[in-house]
Chain A
Amino acid sequence: GQNIDQPTEMTATEGAIVQINCTYQTSGFNGLFWYQQHAGEAPTFLSYNVLDGLEEKGRFSSFLSRSKGYSYLLLKELQMKDSASYLCAVLDSNYQLIWGAGTKLIIKP
């Protein structure tokens, strides 16, 4: 079966760095997405990785290792507004998105 695993909840301190991991087992791979979802709002796109390596976009970076079925989202200089759920999703061989349950990130002052 297809499976996406990510931690349920993480806590970090304002100004610090946090890494949210995602491991996947899917039928085929056509890329991995990270989305951010604030409570009561729609998910919004953060990043897309299809090749191995690190993609940097401001305070956020996303890493992919296809051989290990592994990705992480790195958030630097954390701000209170970064408190949200972070969703990992893999595009499978049929170009359908398989979603993880999301990681709730709590930022403390």
Chain B
Amino acid sequence: ETGVTQTPRHLVMGMTNKKSLKCEQHLGHNAMYWYKQSAKKPLELMFVYNFKEQTENNSVPSRFSPECPNSSHLFLHLHTLQPEDSALYLCASSQVGGGSYNEQFFGPGTRLTVL
């Protein structure tokens, strides 16, 4: 595997379900990100992890719970979601510091539909 991978690619869930999204980066980067992308809206940054520590949480509802067990893996745990949470969820990674300009590499995304 190369780059940034995400599973599943598509997910349909009811409002009472619990599911998790998985992201893995094979680039040796030290930062990972979760974004939400809704139609015709800017990418919304949800969470940032630098060196496995969460450094950003942009007022995301508690029904979204991130987990970063190591610098290569990132999870987004979902529970009691709402229909308006239906969107494309993108994971990205980058190398922060050391002269890098923080170019972010994206995974293919998980298309989430909440019924």
Nearest A residue to B91 by beta-carbon distance?
A42
By a CB distance below 8 angstroms, the chain A residues around B90 are 42-43
Q: How distant is the Cα of A42 from the Cα of B48 in the complex, in angstroms?
A: 18
By a CB distance below 8 angstroms, the chain B residues around A50 are 101
Distance to closest chain B CB from A48 (angstroms): 6
Interface extent on A, as a size class?
Answer: 20 to 34
Residue-wise interface mask of A (76-87) relative to B, using a CB-CB cutoff of 8 A (1 in contact, 0 not): 000000000001
Task: Check if B102 is an interface residue, CB within 8 A of chain A.
Answer: yes
Most buried by A among B41, B96, B104: B104
A101 and B41 form a contact (CB under 8 A):
yes
Chain B positions 60-115 with a Cβ under 8 Å from a chain A Cβ: 90, 96, 101-109, 111
A43 and B106 form a contact (CB under 8 A):
yes
By a CB distance below 8 angstroms, the chain A residues around B106 are 42-44
Task: Check if B13 is an interface residue, CB within 8 A of chain A.
Answer: no
By a CB distance below 8 angstroms, the chain A residues around B40 are 8, 101-102
A31 and B41 form a contact (CB under 8 A):
no
DSSP class of A's interface residues: helix, strand, loop or mixed?
A: loop
By a CB distance below 8 angstroms, the chain A residues around B109 are 41-42
Task: Check if A54 is an interface residue, CB within 8 A of chain B.
Answer: no
By a CB distance below 8 angstroms, the chain B residues around A95 are 96, 102
- Which residue from A8, A43, A96 sits with its C-beta under 8 Å from B45? A96
Nearest A residue to B109 by beta-carbon distance?
A42
Task: Check if B15 is an interface residue, CB within 8 A of chain A.
Answer: no
B104 and A42 form a contact (CB under 8 A):
no
Distance to closest chain A CB from B86 (angstroms): 15
Task: Check if B53 is an interface residue, CB within 8 A of chain A.
Answer: no
Nearest A residue to B106 by beta-carbon distance?
A42
A99 and B56 form a contact (CB under 8 A):
no
B45 and A97 form a contact (CB under 8 A):
yes
Chain B residues near A (Cβ < 8 Å): 4, 40-43, 45, 48, 56, 90, 96, 101-109, 111
- Can you add 11 more A-B contacts, CB < 8 Å, to A4-B42, A30-B101, A42-B107? A41-B108, A42-B4, A42-B109, A43-B106, A44-B106, A45-B105, A87-B43, A96-B48, A97-B43, A97-B45, A97-B102
